[in-house]
Amino acid sequence: MALPFLLAFSATTIAQAQDLKIALITGKTGVLESYAKETETGFMMGLEYLTGGKMEINGRKLKVIIKDDQSKPDIARTLLAEAYGDDKVDLAVGTTSSGAALAMLPVAAEYKKILLVEPAVADAITGDKWNRYIFRTSRNSMQDGLAAASTIKGGGSIAFLTQDNAFGRDAVKAAKESLTMVGSKANVAHEEYAAPNTTDFTAAAQRIFEALKNKPEPRVLQIVWAGPNPMSKLAEMKPERFGIALAPGGNILPIMKTWKAYAGTQGTIFYYYDFPKNKMNDWLVAEHNKRYKAPPDMFTAGGFSAASAVYTALSKAKSSDTEKLITAMEGMEFDTPKGKMNFRKEDHQALQVMYHFKIKKEQKNEWDLLELVREIPVTDIPVPVKNKR
């Protein structure tokens, strides 16, 4: 009678020793390539830090399977199905493009496996397109909008310049709703949607300037752009002639480095390496500087945060079973380079601080770019629940 028991015990032992497999899907080719590479770097550094270099959780080795969806929805959908079905991953993380991420959501529901969204921001991901297998560590468009709106509570006039895609339209919709939510008296004078690959902004700028120039002051042009940012090109057209101030959303360091001539310009951002003060961020900044001769960027921190969520969930659940992970992750608090985050139970969106910045006048080195005006706490970012749970 001992033999069946021993066989069962051996099978259990083998199962426990199996690798934990995670798919990391990003848009490593195309316009968002730099975002994807930063996400991958941050994700792998996060797992390294959290596991003390062992790359294992609960005695099981971590295996990360990296896939490139080229920021194309059809490819993203296919790769996620392949990861769940053929690769037998325990969960997946991704992706860079909001359009691609939205295409992946039904696949997670079909396979009943967790998809942790990072860094896509479209509100619909944790809104009307959400399902119970979706969690998100990246901020969403409403968090961006509310952070920006918290800096423009007075009157005046606002115009928006963004991309004509899911990201851009979602961002402007969220920004307008955010202004109402914070009680801003500012009036939205114009919305300009440009093709994502636009390089000549002359016509767009003329329409924006014409719409704003005679409106009540202060006059603000908010720029919401993924990829190479047009702020410098707009600044060259001298919007100050019409009393118009530019308000850029934060961007990656190589782009913000080109903004040095615009000292004093203010905006909001979800991460800048010098703002958070905690042990995890200290390690990330020091180690990234050592390895890459530059500080970590926004999406590096995002990838690290996703790794922390994965590590915390698997450690807490002591299992890779999807239902046990969902139970562990709903309401779960976890450390990130930005500080504490937690997954809201209602829609699995990670609640997190944001930052109000000013471009520095005196910059000590090529990466000394931003001055912190204020850390915007979660209490000032009342993201509405928009899913249909």
pLDDT at 17: 60
pLDDT confidence band for 293 (50 / 70 / 90): very high
Residue-wise pLDDT tens digits, 360-375 = 999 999 999 999 999 9
DSSP state of 349: B
pLDDT confidence band for 12 (50 / 70 / 90): very low
Contact residues for 57 (Cβ-Cβ < 8 A; gap 6+)? 20, 51, 311, 314, 315
Look at phi and psi of residue 236 and say left if phi exceeds 0, alpha if psi is from -120 to 50, else beta.
alpha
Per-residue pLDDT for 13 more than 50?
Answer: no
Give span(s): CATH 3.40.50.2300, the chain. Answer: 2-139+277-351, 142-269+354-380
Contact residues for 120 (Cβ-Cβ < 8 A; gap 6+)? 94, 95, 96, 97, 98, 100, 101, 102, 136, 138
Per-residue pLDDT for 31 more than 90?
Answer: no
CA distance 77 to 80: 5
pLDDT at 9: 47
CA distance 121 to 300: 15
DSSP state of 379: G
CA distance 250 to 235: 16
| pTM over cut 0.95 | no
Q: Calculate mean pLDDT across residues 63-91.
A: 98
Contact residues for 151 (Cβ-Cβ < 8 A; gap 6+)? 247, 266, 268, 356
Q: Calculate mean pLDDT across residues 157-183.
A: 91
Our measurement of the distance from residue 15's CA atom to the centroid of its chain's CA atoms, rounded to an integer in Å, reads 34
Nearest Cα residue to 298 out of 274, 314, 321: 274
**Which tokens belong to 251?**
């961007």
Cis peptide before 4 (omega within 30 of 0): no
Give SS3 for 291.
Answer: helix
Task: State the CATH class of domain 2-139+277-351.
Answer: alpha beta
CA distance 43 to 113: 19
The kind and range of the H/E element at 260 are none
pLDDT at 14: 46
Per-residue pLDDT for 125 more than 70?
Answer: yes
Distances (CA, A) of 63 to 44, 87, 117, 349: 11, 11, 19, 26
Q: What percent of the chain has pLDDT over 70?
A: 96
Residue-wise pLDDT tens digits, 42-51 = 999 999 999 9
Per-residue pLDDT for 8 more than 80?
Answer: no
Q: Calculate mean pLDDT across residues 146-171.
A: 89
Per-residue pLDDT for 167 more than 90?
Answer: no
Nearest Cα residue to 114 out of 83, 139, 86: 83
pLDDT at 104: 98
Mean residue pLDDT of the chain comes to: 92
CA distance 137 to 124: 15
Given a contact cutoff of 8 angstroms between Cβ atoms, the answer to whether 210 and 227 are in contact is: no
First CA to last CA across the chain, in angstroms?
49
Q: Calculate mean pLDDT across residues 350-361.
A: 96
Per-residue pLDDT for 2 more than 80?
Answer: no
Per-residue pLDDT for 262 more than 90?
Answer: no
Per-residue pLDDT for 202 more than 90?
Answer: yes
Per-residue pLDDT for 324 more than 60?
Answer: yes
- Region 142-269+354-380: CATH code: 3.40.50.2300
- Lowest mean pLDDT, pick from 81-90, 147-156, 186-195, 369-378: 147-156
Residue-wise pLDDT tens digits, 295-312 = 999 999 999 999 999 999
Give SS3 for 253.
Answer: helix
Q: Calculate mean pLDDT across residues 33-44.
A: 97
pLDDT at 224: 87
Bridge partners of 372? 357
Amino acid at 334: F
Q: Calculate mean pLDDT across residues 257-281.
A: 93
Give SS3 for 361.
Answer: coil
